Amino acid sequence: MHQAVQEKAAPRVVMIQRHAVVTRLTHWLNAVFFCVLAASGMQIFNAWPQLYWGQAGADSAQAWLALGPFPAWLTLPSAQDLAAGRRWHLFFAWCFVFNGAAYLAYGLLSDHFRRHLLPRRRELAARHLWREVADHARLRFAHDERARDYNALQKLSYLAVIGLLLPLMVLTGLTMSPGMNAAAPWLLDLFGGRQSARTLHFISAALLVLFLIVHLAMVLLSGPWNNLRSMLSGRYAIQKGGSHD
């Protein structure tokens, strides 16, 4: 009898479909585009590794932040070819924008954002958020039915990236373009000058890199093969039945 109870309580693993084809495709394209953008952006930044606020930024004494150059092995396409770096950055920036627009259109038309990314009211309660922070700090991750959907911390971070950081990076990038300054001079007013836009562009890119590092760490700590498989085939393994932490 005791053995039968033990067997009944043991969880079983089932496969669910977690990510749609469009989500998976745009995810991997974004990963490639962002890596090239980061590498070419560092190459461009190395030409003048100082940040300013306002319109002008030629005086080193007025810089609010001065960094040493990024290592050449982190940059693309060449540590010495600034013109090529700008061409690479512009080309992949538009690839990034069009790919993001495709994901945005899919998310709105399929109701993906509301169903999967919009936090429920109970998930925004301070007690719930604090419990999730504590679970993450102790590396306790859900592997049962709760893993079907994103948790509240994931939803809030994804919404911050999609709704704030990415639009900020795109708009500040456009503000640094002389052609866009002529076509949409209000961008300069919005960000307080081209140097301010450059600073905000750098900050938003740095925050996106930080998000990527944390994202990869969570993928590795919560089950790398299961997470990778879900982004390749859409199939994700969860446990049903039994007791869970």
What's the pLDDT score for residue 10? 65
DSSP state, 120?
Answer: P
**pLDDT band, very low/low/confident/very high, at 244 (cuts 50, 70, 90):** very low
For residue 132, pLDDT beyond 60:
yes
Q: Is 238 helix (H, G, I), strand (E, B) or coil?
A: strand
Q: Cβ neighbours of residue 77 under 8 Å, at least 6 residues apart?
A: 40, 43, 84, 85, 88
Average pLDDT, the chain: 89
pLDDT tens profile 162-214? 999 999 999 999 999 988 888 899 999 999 999 999 999 999 999 999 999 99
Taking every pair of Cα atoms in the chain, the longest distance, rounded to a whole number of angstroms, is 82
Contact call for residues 222 and 74 (beta carbons, < 8 A): no
Residue range 67-91: average pLDDT? 89
pLDDT tens profile 38-49? 999 999 999 999
Supply 115's token pair: 């169903």
Q: Is 59 helix (H, G, I), strand (E, B) or coil?
A: coil
Cα separation, 3 vs 1, whole angstroms:
5
pTM score, whole prediction: 0.88
Domains and CATH numbers, the chain: 20-52+79-226 (1.20.950.20)
Tokens 């960094």 correspond to 67
pLDDT tens profile 73-82? 999 987 678 8
**pLDDT band, very low/low/confident/very high, at 225 (cuts 50, 70, 90):** very high
